[in-house]
Amino acid sequence: MDYRKLELSFHEKAGFRAAVISTGMMIGWAFYDSVIAGLAAGIALMMTENMYKKGMLEKRKRRLLSQFKDLLYSISSFVSTGRSLGQALEESIDFWRGTYDDQDYIMRELKQMTKNIKESNMPDVDSFDDFAKRSGLEDAEDFVMVCKTCKATGADFSKAAERSAGIIEDKIDIERELSSIMVQKRFEGRVIASSPFGLILMIKILSPDYMAPLYETTLGRAVSTISLVLMAAGLTVMERVIQIEI
């Protein structure tokens, strides 16, 4: 499994399209009181599918990174007792079995790496390197580099693994805290950016006659269009401002 890529399943695509069409219909009803405008807005929102996939990838990466941190803990623990990397990977399966399900990313990868080592006679470092490349995790690639360096120079792998694992774990903790802050700020920004839309919906429902001039005159439709464009622009700017690479 290549964690750097994502192909939406049929159900995921259907759910996404149903959501954007529904949102588009609400926009068309609130701003133009028109089904045609709603369908047009829904079709336009279809173009945000790549943004949706990017968000799903980020969510999967955060989950994988959290599980990888736990894996580093077990690897450093087993290696410190004299186990090789391959043995540490194999014993980590039983170590984390009560914490993770067999379908969790790290459990599937541990089983695959162990299978590659035992059945395909793949070197343990190469098997871990394959996972690191597919994961897209910079921290995993850094750990592989430590393993390769120790193997090439004959350095004490147990001490190097323990020290590097500690450094990487601290880095992951910091990244997780920053990511949590970013998620919170993104949510707050989306609420603020979409609040005018919620206000318009409320007025439309509670006092439809008050909104009638927006739908019945050319000036009203122009005001609705300008308002919608400004809301979309504000949301886009907000997303870009808080899109900071950690």
DSSP-assigned letters across all residues of 165-210: HHHHHHHHHHHHHHHHHHHHHHHHHHHHHHHHHHHHHHHHHH-HHH
The model's pLDDT over 58-70, given as tens digits with 9 standing for 90+, comes to: 888 888 988 998 8
pTM tops 0.85, yes or no: no
Q: Locate the domains of the chain by residue range.
A: 59-246
**How much is the pLDDT for 111?**
92
Q: How far is CA 61 from the centre of its chain?
A: 5
9 contacts 15 by C-beta, under 8 angstroms: no
More confident residue, 129 or 6: 129
Burial code (b: 16+ CB inside 10 Å, e: under 16) for 104-118 equals ebbbebbebbbebbe
The total of other beta-carbon atoms located within 10 Å of residue 174's CB is 11
Closest C-alpha among 78, 34, 27 to residue 229: 27
Per-residue pLDDT, averaged over 28-46, amounts to: 87
In the predicted model, is pLDDT for residue 241 greater than 80? no
Over 70: is that where the pLDDT of 27 sits?
Answer: yes
Residue 245 has pLDDT above 60, yes or no: no
Tell the residue number behind the tokens 């098997």, with chain if given.
127
Q: Are 2 and 134 in contact (CB under 8 A)?
A: yes
Q: What are phi and psi of 131, to 5 degrees?
A: -65, -45
